[in-house]
Structure 1
């Protein structure tokens, strides 16, 4: 029991680091007043820190339009600004839904304590899901670290290269922001450099915190559905049956009621996840189309190799972020619908017609998937990922057409 009870806590512990540095929380009910003040203070500090850079970036964009900058110059900063805005919105939605987050963690922990099957029979499948979740988080952590490293070092490398070629020192910052003072004055430059790097870290950590919790919940609900499928397939035993039909077996009927309650709890957990993530997912889909489009445009139009590497890393990370969001939404849908097959594979034919009708009701309900949506506008699954790519390609083609017409 102790080993089973630690499964959910172990998964949450693996992603806790992202919440620690952002001021977000997984279980705010467990905090005392002092911890709440510390957590909220850190979040407010990060929020002001990040959004001051977003405002500076928007100001640079507005000045660029006024000064007649080219499309390439204008789109250089836009993907980063859009991703920063997404991170800020995700964190706000997370704060707003803290009560629901507490509730779903409590519900999943209760499921683990009270509704467990024979884990050994499907241990390989459970380990496969956990290992894949760990792989996804490790991959994204590695890419995020690479992005921070690239954005941190690229201005310094460009400064050094230009100094070697011309003998002049031209200071550069990771991002083109507008400030009410000269950002390249040595009195401000080191602070602004650190400020922009930490803003990038805030963006990546806030997106990771919200997304990793989503992945973890979907994975754990998937594991619970696997256990439920196993119990449902074995609901009618085959021992001591020589021929004929089992009638009025109260033990099996009581077991079916327990499994139905288990299924209802999983449905409620899925609906709670929808409540938490519906609006932020819609925002994610809209911004991802823009980020992928503009990043792809930058890769195809910029001639500087260092900048191409930066935007290639950015593009790859953006694609993976929205892909895994859709993948885990699709995983949840498939997991809920696979229960239908488990019911069909049970030995329902050994029971009487009344029991068969009860199972049929459960089977019909399992054919309606537990799904997550982008605030009702689209289901979160792999088809949605293809639609995001399709929208990005349409915007990209339009932008390339405008760019070609301007050049000609």
Structure 2
């Protein structure tokens, strides 16, 4: 995002939709190439995303085949390892699929939210745009650092273990623990030492491509929901600054109701945007939760059954990432719930009862419509908030208890 200087040296931000993760900016690897055509956002079809999605779906099918073979052979631990990786791969695939299927809807939503973005430095300062901009960039940098460390460890550990522990003098096949992803490939490619370097490169590229699906999804999700929260907070500040006593002054009456009508229209517009935002992401949130919960359970089981510290580190790293992914979505859902619920609180805290009867009716109707805050949902099956995060952790614990009792 560029900073421009207005008159008298005041800094102005172009918009919040240009913020990218460091990996997207440095490597120029972005599945959604946002472009402005005649001042409007357009997202062209990404061949790179389509190819990566095809490979990711093929990899998920390979994981299912390998898991079925392991269960038929009675290799429970092996099946658990595959399920742990498959759960996370399923999450990445679902989020990438959401980006591909909703490309047109995303561009339309970006244009709608871009229409209300403040263009003047004074209005940006009043709306705290720079604060939101700094938060998003700082968050992206922290996530980039954590993901870089985690993914680097995840990709390099199998290769290091192969070079150190594999017996090259024997004719034994390459074990699954030496692969980045234990999914099935035809012709026994994963069992041969001669093809191991090529398979390892393929698995690393596939893992990096899948991780970038999460990064791109996160960039779109965070940029959009943070703007929604920013606009709701700005509306709350406007309502707090409104002097309801002007409704008793005939000289200020028309200006007050004109202002009130603008605020009501703004609130209705934001509510429509929030509903569209929820419709865009509820598919990916639902299936992400299912995949992450499954992967968390099996990773915990594998950690408790690990025989050495290296195995524990291998299973613990993705576990922390998965818990953070659920927590992050729940945190944003709680934030959206909080800022929308604050509108009702501000209306109630105004001295509408000391104003005119007409203004009191306006306020009462508005309070009634804002009685329930907007909640992020997954097809209205559950609310995505911190209570949901707690429920997911309890569900993972219960599944862990069940799996341990069966083992």
Q: Which of the five TM-score ranges fits, normalised by the shorter chain? A: 0.7 to 0.9
Distance 1:52 1:390, change over 3 A: same
1:132-151 residue CA offsets vs partner (Å, 9 max, x unmatched): 43343333322221222112
User: Could you say which residue in structure 1 is the equivalent of 2:47?
Assistant: 41
Is structure 2 residue 137 aligned with structure 1 residue 134?
yes
Which TM-score applies when normalising by structure 2? Answer: 0.85
Q: Deviations over 1:346-389 (max 9, x none)?
A: 45456311012112222222222122211110011111111111
Counterpart of 2:88?
83
The residue number in structure 1 matching 2:164 is 161
1:112 aligned residue (117, 120, 129): 117
What are the residue-to-residue correspondences of 1:7-406 with 2, within 5 Å?
7-11=15-19, 17=25, 21=29, 23-26=31-34, 36=44, 39-69=45-75, 71-113=76-118, 119-120=124-125, 123=128, 129-162=132-165, 172-179=178-185, 180-185=187-192, 187-236=194-243, 245-247=248-250, 249-346=253-350, 348=352, 351-403=355-407
1:234-280 CA-to-partner distances (Å, cap 9, x unmatched) read 12277xx8xx9424610011001111111111101100111101122
Residue 378 of structure 2: SS of its match in structure 1?
coil
The residue matched to 1:388 in structure 2 has which SS? helix
1:8 is paired with a residue whose SS is: coil
Structure 1 unaligned residues grouped into runs of 5+: 404-408
Contact 2:244 2:350 in 1 (8 A): no
| Partners of 1:228 and 1:263 within 8 A in 2 | yes
- C-alpha RMSD of the superposition: 3.2
Q: Report deviation, 1:314.
A: 0.6
Query: Is the helix fraction higher in 1 or 2?
Result: 1
CA separation of 1:15 and 1:378: change in aligned 2, threshold 3 A: farther
Are the structure 2 counterparts of residues 308 and 339 from structure 1 closer, same or farther at C-alpha, using a change threshold of 3 Å? same
Q: Paired residue for 1:406? A: none
Q: Secondary structure at the match of 2:117?
A: helix
CA contact under 8 A between 2:289 and 2:326: conserved in structure 1? yes
Report Cα offsets for 1:114-148 as digits up to 9, x if no partner: 8998554564xx65544443343333322221222
| Cα pair 1:278 1:373 within 8 Å, conserved | yes
Distance 2:292 2:29 in 1: 24
- Paired positions, count: 390
Q: Per the alignment, do residues 15 and 196 of structure 1 end up closer, same or farther by CA in structure 2, a change over 3 Å counting?
A: closer
Aligned mates of 1:25, 1:325 — CA distance in 2? 24
Q: TM-score scaled to structure 1, two decimals?
A: 0.85
Once residues 242 and 387 of structure 2 are traced to their aligned partners in structure 1, the CA distance between those partners, rounded to angstroms, is 34
Q: Is there any run of 5+ residues in structure 2 with no aligned partner, and where? A: none
> Bigger CA drift: 206-215 or 376-385?
206-215
**Greater CA deviation, 383-392 or 340-349?**
340-349
SS at match of 2:266: helix
What are the Cα deviations for residues 144-192 of structure 1, in whole angstroms up to 9, with x where unaligned? Answer: 21222112221232234326xx785885322223322343545522221
Matches of 1:254 and 1:304 in 2, distance apart? 70
Decide whether aligned partners of structure 1 residues 16 and 263 sit closer, same or farther in structure 2, where only a CA change above 3 A counts.
Answer: farther
